[in-house]
Amino acid sequence: MIKLIVGLGNPGRQYEETRHNAGFLFLDSLADEHGFGWSSNSQFQGDVANLAFEGGKIVLLKPMTFMNRSGLSVGKVLRYYKLKPEEMLVVHDELELSEGCVKLKRDGGHAGHNGLRDIIAHIDSRDFYRLRVGIGRPVSGGVADYVLSRPSSTGLGLFNEVFRLMRDNFGKLVAADMGAINEGLVR
């Protein structure tokens, strides 16, 4: 069962609705639905919230270290709560999936994603769950400019649709039910 959900993104108003902030956007959608707020925690170098779910507690984390240093924050939270990497779900943007697609996976490399690369380096493990939120590849221009830009209104609508679907099936997500998420819920 998932006990920590990390949403990856970059702090600051200029990044708020960018593709690279898919993880932050998902966690913010959970906060909106469940009516909780975020607490800034300097010890963890991130914004933290606790979500009561099915008699237990799920820690939610938005690292405020910028994407490329996400592992600092994640490592501190895992150690503090004495959690294993396999009890963690990292929500991040994914270039290899088209907008509106989502895929849950466990283990694997970072596929060039600097946030995942830093987490793997800091916790010395690849054995954690990832919710890959599709953003597609740029038609023209560089990847950095693309991921740090805002999606179209259609793209934002697809994010919101995927996030609603994940919230509606949150029990399956927390149970890391890859079959249900990947086969029954992915568009």
Number of domains in the chain: 1
Give the pTM. 0.94
Residue 16 is predicted with a pLDDT of 92
In angstroms, what is the C-alpha Rg of the chain? 15
User: Measured in Å, how far apart are the chain's first and last C-alpha atoms?
Assistant: 24
Does the pLDDT of residue 166 top 70, yes or no? yes
Q: What is the mean pLDDT of residues 13-37?
A: 95
β-strands 39-41, 46-53: how paired? antiparallel
Residue 184 has a pLDDT of 54
Q: Is the pLDDT of residue 149 over 90?
A: yes
Output the pLDDT for position 92: 97
The CATH number of whichever domain residue 52 belongs to comes to 3.40.50.1470
Residue 159 is part of which domain span?
A: 4-185
Determine the pLDDT at residue 185.
54
The amino acid present at 131, given as its one-letter code, is L
What tens digit of pLDDT does each residue of 54-75 get? 888 999 999 999 999 999 999 9
Selected catalytic residue, list 20, 110, 113, 122: 20
Q: For residue 174, give every residue at least 6 positions away whose Cβ sits within 8 Å of its Cβ, in sequence order, or none.
A: 1, 2, 53, 54, 58, 89
20 catalytic residue (yes or no): yes
Please state the φ and ψ torsions of residue 54, each to the nearest 5 degrees. 50, 50
